[in-house]
Amino acid sequence: MADTKKKLKNNRTALGGWMLIPHPAIAEIMAGEGFDWIALDMEHAAVDLSMVEQIERAVRPSGCDLFVRLDGVNPILAKHVLDAGAKGVIVPNVRSPEDVDIMTAAVRYPPQGNRGTSLARALDYGRNFDEYLRGHNDNVFVAVMIEHHLAAGRAEEILARPGIDAAFIGPYDLSASLGVAGQLDHPDVLTSERTILDACRRTGVAPGYHVVPPERARIDERIAAGYRFIGCSLDTHFLMHGCRSLLQT
């Protein structure tokens, strides 16, 4: 079982880094600093499947889990990134229980799902076929992103579906769906976030949040609020923050 999944099952917090710059060196540096997981973004960054393989190779020695944010509710892409070696998927813009069912089935082998078997890299090209299949359905990680106010209104219905490890709030898209893009402290945004957090508590799904500013105090605020699957800024912001700090006079 992946370490992130174990932590969340034991009601502990799992901190992750976020990658928009698709380069193995970025992944290697970030994973080496002790994140529990790294999310490679295929929704908003120029990432192809060959890069998923290269980044997984870079991350693996650290023991950090590599998750891939897909480009949408895309069962075919989910199969490809898992075959490339990712430990799980983060599914953006989930709107319904049916979306959940599609994706939780896509990442699991029969009889629990419909993922096709292969001799792909994740299975060591067939050398690890039996062992991989034996444990995969229990070990694969699935986080759904609830990032539209209409989905927030159905959060408990969505999260009651089996096979979800975490529910991730996308604060910027959530605010945009409410007509207040980027206003993360707007009352309507905060109300939707509380609705999602309450649904997580009732369904037993680990609540997640992406804290974009690279500030530990903001991460601690989310932990205190009850979030346990937390994205900690992103590579581009780490780079900008370091440059700005150095150049300040």
Domains and CATH numbers, the chain: 3-247 (3.20.20.60)
> 214: closest CA among 190, 230, 226, 225?
230
Q: Say whether 237 is catalytic.
A: no
Q: What is the pLDDT of residue 62?
A: 95
Active-site pick, 23, 44, 237, 241: 44
* Residue 86 near residue 56, CB atoms below 8 Å: yes
pLDDT higher than 90, residue 249:
no
What would the mean pLDDT of 147-159 be, rounded to a whole number?
A: 97
Q: What is the pLDDT of residues 157-202, one digit of tens each?
A: 999 999 999 999 989 999 999 999 999 999 999 999 999 999 999 9
Rounded Cα distance between 196 and 154, Å, is: 9
Residue 41, class by beta-carbon neighbours within 10 Å (0-12 exposed, 13-18 middle, 19+ buried)? Answer: buried
Across the chain, mean pLDDT equals: 96
Q: What is the pLDDT of residues 84-137, one digit of tens each?
A: 999 999 999 999 999 999 999 999 999 999 999 999 999 999 999 999 999 999
Q: What is the pLDDT of residues 220-231, one digit of tens each?
A: 999 999 999 999
Does 215 or 2 have the greater pLDDT score?
Answer: 215
Using pLDDT thresholds of 50, 70 and 90, give the confidence band for residue 2: low
> 36: closest CA among 66, 1, 78?
66
As a three-state string, the secondary structure of 143-189 is EEEECCHHHHHCHHHHHCCCCCCEEEECHHHHHHHCCCCCCCCCHHH
Continuous H helices in 33-74: 49-59
Contacts of 83 (CB under 8 A, 6+ apart): 118, 120, 121, 122, 123
Beta pairing partners, 90: 69, 143
Which residue's structure tokens are 């605010």? 175
Q: What is the pLDDT of residues 22-80, one digit of tens each?
A: 999 999 999 999 999 999 999 999 999 999 999 999 999 999 999 999 999 999 999 99
Rounded Cα distance between 91 and 148, Å, is: 13
